[in-house]
Structure 1
Amino acid sequence: MTATAAPSDVDTPRPLAALTALAPGAARLRPGLFEDRRRLNRDYLRSLRAPNLLQNHLIEAGIGSQAWHLHPSRDDAESRGLDRHWGWETPGSLLRGHFVGHWLSAAAREIAVTGDAHLRATLTEVLDGLELCQRENGDGWVFAIPPAFLDRLADGREVWAPQYDIHKTLMGLVDVSRELGEERARDIAHAAAGRLLAWARTFDDESFQRILEVETGGMLEVWADLLEATGDPMYVELLDRYTHRSLFDGLLAGRDVLTNMHANTTIPEVLGAARAYEVTGDERWRRIVTAYWDSAVTQRGTFATGGQTSGEIWTPPHAFAARRGEKTQEHCSVYNMIRLADTLLRWTGDLAYADYIERNLYNGILAQQHPDTGMVAYFLPLHGGARKTWGSPTEDFWCCHGTLVQAHTRHASLGVYTSSGDDGTAAITVAQYIPVEAGLPGGGRLTVELVDHAGYVGPDSNAGEAGDLHRPRAWRVRVRLDSPVAQTLRLRVPEWTAGEPAVRGADGASRQGSALEVPHAGGVTTVEVDFAHTVRAVPIPDEPTTVAFVEGPVVLAGLVDAEIALSGDAARPETLLAVDNERQWSQWLTGYRTVGQPRAVRFAPLHTIADESFSVYFPVHPA
């Protein structure tokens, strides 16, 4: 194709095929924004020591730190406890011990992908400690909270969410077992599951359903994972007992059971239904998952960022104007909805789920990680003149602190999928334009690069031809497939693409629905594609004169300390914003500024905002 050509034609989309994710260690990030954020996260994971991660598990088991065989305190600060974990991890907190499970899951993925020896050594120490705690506790108990918390839960007495807390330890053990082949981790989880089944059997079905009304985390998902790993029929019984009937039956009946419900209580339960379907094949589980997505997303809508919650609860359908505040968009909900979207993407092959993931990656996962410290913002505030509130390395340990460390180990796994049709044809689908290099099943390699876009030009851009005169209004993507297998290379055409993508270097490319399909006959195929974009004004559904400005998938934030109104035509955002300070050295900068306004406002991508005050939404009045 010529350098400016669009795909040869736009065909009627073929039936979609289910997609298969690559193995966790098959893909690694290349240099760029996502790799920078992963490294921040890796450094934080490495900074945490096993004795402090396990402090509450050891206390519950009655094991003093000096009695344990690991490191004694190494300096005076440590001897005074200044390196210990506080906040939600403070001894005595009702959710103490939850973070170690998140750490195990994150460390397992980082080790699987990079082989990090430091993390492997710390993980081994943590497993040693959990094994010792289980032995000292007796009866399989391996958790940082006492069994009495379950008694309080069953009696309806005040307690926070003990099963949520328990789930985190089980989740970490299951992930270590699955991703690193650590049978010891699976055995610890299996023994603990037997203890929990014995407890659950003491209640009739009606009584246990009442218990399930209090947040259980992803217990259902763990039971499905352990059923797959062990084949033990006790997990079939646990799946049945943990089926939350008031939620699942309501979804299947088409009722709105989500409005004003705590969002991240329900999302992990539906992720459990998804795993139960994958393990058992029971179609009812799948219907629950699709009904949930329909209620939570299709019928509800989202903020411009892709997030949907306020004060941790689901907003009413398409009613967001009154829900903007300091506690909008909880990080945990963003992370778990990305996981749910990824599940549905794999099941259906529908790339609309990848669009949803992309929007939430940039305006949630990246926007809620401090670009310098790597710490998390529990919420992403969307009121005028907002500021992000950041956590600390050892003094907060919110729930979102846990999903933060998991999220930034998983970027490479969201981009590339394989599939095969009923006729035996094979395909590689690139669903996210995250720079990555991946090994493919059956041999071969795939490389995805962002060649020239806002924020990055390339290592040799200061030499040779000058290139673009102004900041590119497109994402320029290069994909190289080196494989002996004849197959189709499918590239997602993002929902925000303006016009048809321009293709270079690939004869026979055609548009198939939301994908650009490039034939690969074997050998090496290299294709470059420009996905053009414009600045769009995205209104609040129930207040259409108030808009957010979005470039590609990236929400732009105005650097202001209060909500201000703009004057002009929101249907023509190019008349309101102009490119600002576009270039330095080898880098295209990413800012905009208002034009024709009484007060000049500069805009920056929301995910680059650290400590500045900002607004995402702006009322626009006719000039």
Structure 2
Amino acid sequence: MMAQFYNLEPGRAKLGEGPLAARFRINKDYVMSLTNANLLRGFYMEAGLWSYSGNGGTTTASTISMEGPEQWHWGWEAVTCELRGHFMGHWLSAAARIYAQTNDVMVKAKADTIVSELARCQEANGGGWLAAFPETFMHRLLNGKWVWAPHYTVHKLLMGLLEMYQLASNRQALSIAKGMAGWFYRWTSALSQEQLDELLDMETGGMLETWAELYGITRADEHGKLMERYVRNRFFDLLLRGEDVLTNKHANTQIPEILGAARVYEVTGDERFRRIAESFWACAVTKRGYLCTGAGDDGELWMPHHDMEARLGVGQEHCVNYNMMRLSHTLLRWTGNPAYADYWERRFVNGVLAHQHGDTGMISYFLGVAPGSRKTWGSETGHFWCCHGTLIQANAAYESQIYLRDGDGVAIAQWIPSVASIELEGVRIGFAIEQDSQQGLYPMNKWNVTGMKAITEVHRPAIPVTRPDRFLFSVKVSCDRAAQFALKLRIPWWVKERALITVNGILQQDVPEGAGFYKLNRMWSDGDLVKVELPKALAAEPLPGSPDRYAFVDGPVVLAGLTDEDRLLVGDAECPESLLTSDRERNHSWWNAGYYRTKGQSVNIRLIPLHEIKDESYTVYFQVKAAEQTAQ
């Protein structure tokens, strides 16, 4: 497979100090707080290694505790729920990603212990089957009897095991996955193609992706055949013909299948599967349009092409958000097209961050944009929705999207404070991205030492009098000796005017207007400093299919009005400054991005970033009419 970009090796990039690092730590603390007993309970039960005696539990496992039911995991992880066990895979994946970044031996020790206990459960089951529910669920599928997504649940477990092998070097996890593959290979061997097709029409999650991943590791014929059996041609063939097979269909059934097709392409080189992924993107995004957050779904279903106002109900789902981000990153790697990185940024700022409570770290399953929306937060152990799982994965993997390698050097795809190190032709090279919160905007509130110095040390550069209209970043390059390579910098979709880029204080004259990658190809020395100014302006984006209804966006940040009503705003949407004015622009030692209030309205309201909404009622899309229209 020919790709434009490649991911850095795990652990090569880390978050810099700041709000995102704080969220990462909240997520890590939560992952580590969940007890082995509760994570493993369903698996022990199905393996016959644990039973509840009424005053605790009995088991041969040394890891189980004597907790009563009031301390157990409930919601979708309850022992009475058919989807039980799905969260284990997410947990293993998150733990592996956290360990890859931090080298925290306590994280690895806990995850390794859980893997070893899963191996013990698999052995008790006969050496192949492993799940928190019985094998009979799979047989019910074949008999046409309803059961809640057992394939989906098994996929999550396989995904977590494979990431434990790939990111945390746990070979036992790979052995477990091979045993599970053996069970599924034998189970599907007796099925006709028609039976397989019927099976795949029920939610299979990302089973195709995990079999492709496993085949890429082992190159075993059995794993290759298993991968082929999980190709859902009934769906893929229609996509290739350009038909809309998405509208009103379950989005999070289909996206994992497309991620599977993408992975098949990467491990086999079969161009058909690349075309499937690209056809899906055209149908789901390019032709359909999307909301200001990047979403084309509401209530887990795809909305109609460019006709979305009547479908603004509960809102976008976090799992859909996360999986579309994964797909956009894959297409970015294949093509080098920065539009995919732009889409990822929309989904990150107004999806991942907006779905997570900034204080508790908990998840809002859905994220609405209709008038009077509210976020409903899950609890630590009482809900365990599917999105609870993708939450801990997404918040364990910010760093993997920032830097990419290519044949010329390195690309910075996302402007997130971080550090990275690579080796290029024997030269060790480092990068450090920092954000200026004094001369530029700071998109997420956080006290920092740099800001404190800026407001106390009089010899420092003067702070602008009013809120700046740009984001400022610096990239410091370090290397043990001079090296020739290209550094590509993404100029985002929201940039207004020409981005200003300097290298060691020298303004680059060839920076084009608009979005794209800007390439700096030069001999780099230790301590070279690149500064990037990204001008932004307040913008009003129309709702697809409803040209008189708008959302307001400040750079990459979607704004939410603090109101539970469907308000009419009077003014010119083409000139959003006629409707909104700056509000609470300074917060002690940094400039706030995304704080506004309406002006000239019968009643004025405040707007703040969607990702900062916690328990307030809010509205994202407003009807906007010119004054002469309202007078008629």
Q: Which SS does the other structure have where 2:220 is aligned?
A: coil
Distance 2:341 2:334 in 1: 12
- 2: CA distance, partners of 1:475 / 1:219: 41
Other-structure match for 1:4: none
- Output one character per residue of 1:54-87: Cα deviation in whole Å (capped at 9) or x when no partner: 11111111111542333453xxxx6323321100
Q: Secondary structure at the match of 2:108?
A: helix
User: What stretches of structure 2 of length at least 5 have no aligned partner?
Assistant: 51-56, 628-632
Are the structure 2 counterparts of residues 72 and 265 from structure 1 closer, same or farther at C-alpha, using a change threshold of 3 Å? closer
Q: If the length of structure 2 is used for normalisation, what is the TM-score?
A: 0.92
Q: Which runs of 5+ in 1 are unaligned?
A: 1-15, 421-425
Whether the 8 Å contact between 2:550 and 2:621 is mirrored in structure 1 is yes
Q: What SS class does the counterpart of residue 444 from structure 1 fall into?
A: strand
Q: Which moved more, 1:343-352 or 1:118-127?
A: 118-127
> Which residue of 513, 516, 519 corresponds with 1:517?
519
Change (3 A) 1:112 1:242: same
Secondary structure of the structure 2 residue equivalent to 1:304: coil
User: Which secondary structure does the structure 1 equivalent of 2:367 belong to?
Assistant: coil
- Contact kept, 8 Å, 2:112 with 2:170, in 1: the verdict is no
The answer to whether the aligner puts 1:56 opposite 2:45 as a matched pair is no
Residues 319 and 390 of structure 2 are in contact (CA less than 8 Å); yes or no, is this contact kept in structure 1?
yes
Residue number among 563, 567, 578 corresponding to 2:566 in the alignment: 563
Q: Which runs of structure 2 are paired with 1:285-296 in the superposition (5 Å)?
A: 285-296=273-284
Counterpart residue number, 2:415 = 433
* Aligned with residue 450 of structure 1, among 413, 432, 435: 435
How far off is 1:92 after superposition? 1.8
Q: 1:174/1:561 Cα in 2 relative to 1: closer, same or farther (>3 Å)?
A: same
- Report Cα offsets for 1:505-541 as digits up to 9, x if no partner: 2465633671222233021321111101111000112
Counterpart in the other structure of 1:318? 306
Aligned letter for 2:467?
A: R
What letter matches 1:451 in structure 2?
Answer: D
CA distance in 1, matches of 2:104, 2:70: 27
Q: Give the corresponding residue for 1:531.
A: 534
Q: Secondary structure at the match of 2:333?
A: helix
Structure 1 position 441, deviation (Å) = 2.8
CA distance in 2, matches of 1:584, 1:20: 39
- Maintained 8 Å contact 1:161/1:214: yes
Q: Which residue of 2 aligns with 1:610?
A: 614
- In 1, the alpha carbon distance for the partners of 2:521 and 2:466 equals 33
SS of match in other structure, 1:152: helix
How do residues 520-599 of structure 1 correspond to structure 2 at under 5 angstroms?
Answer: 520-524=522-526, 525-590=528-593, 591-599=595-603
When the two structures are superposed, what TM-score results if normalisation uses the length of structure 1?
0.94
2:447 aligned with 1:461: no
Q: What is the rounded CA distance, in whole Å, between the counterparts of 1:332 and 1:542 in structure 2? A: 25
Q: Alpha-carbon deviations, 1:23-61, whole Å to 9, x = none?
A: 121100002222122111111101111111111111111
Q: Secondary structure at the match of 1:521?
A: strand
2:186 is the counterpart of 1:186 = no
Pick aligned residue for 1:474 from 470, 474, 482: 470
CA deviation map 1:588-615 (0-9, x unaligned): 2331111111111001000011111100
How far did residue 17 of structure 1 move? Answer: 7.0
Displacement, 1:159? 0.9
Asked if 1 retains the 8 angstrom alpha-carbon contact of 2:290 and 2:544, the reply is no
Structure 2: how far apart are the matches of 1:540 and 1:549?
Answer: 11
Alpha-carbon deviation of 1:191?
0.7
Contact 1:509 1:517 (8 Å CA) reproduced: no
Matches within 5 A, 1:135-150: 135-150=123-138
Structure 1 residues 374 and 259, CA, compared in 2 at 3 Å: closer, same or farther? same
Moved more, 364-373 or 17-26: 17-26
Structure 2 partner of 1:377? 364
**CA deviation digits over 1:332-378, x for unaligned, max 9?**
00000000000000011110100000000000000000011100111
Contact 2:47 2:121 in 1 (8 A): yes
**Secondary structure in 2 aligned to 1:478?**
strand
Preserved CA contact (<8 Å) 1:506 1:526: no
Q: Count the aligned residue pairs.
A: 598
**460, 473, 490: which is aligned to 2:488?**
490
Higher relative contact order (CA 8 A, sep 6+): 1
Find out whether 1:176 has 2:187 as its counterpart. no
Q: Which residues in structure 2 correspond to 1:102-117 (within 5 Å)?
A: 102-117=90-105
Q: Counterparts of 1:566 and 1:265 in 2: how far apart (Å)?
A: 38
**Sequence identity (%):** 43
Distance 1:83 1:241 in 2: 41
Amino acid at match of 2:587: Q
Whichever residue aligns with residue 557 of structure 2, its letter is V
CA distance in 2 between counterparts of 1:362 and 1:160 reads: 32
Distance 1:416 1:265 in 2: 30
Deviations 1:471-508 (A, max 9, x none): 11101011112233211111111011001011232465
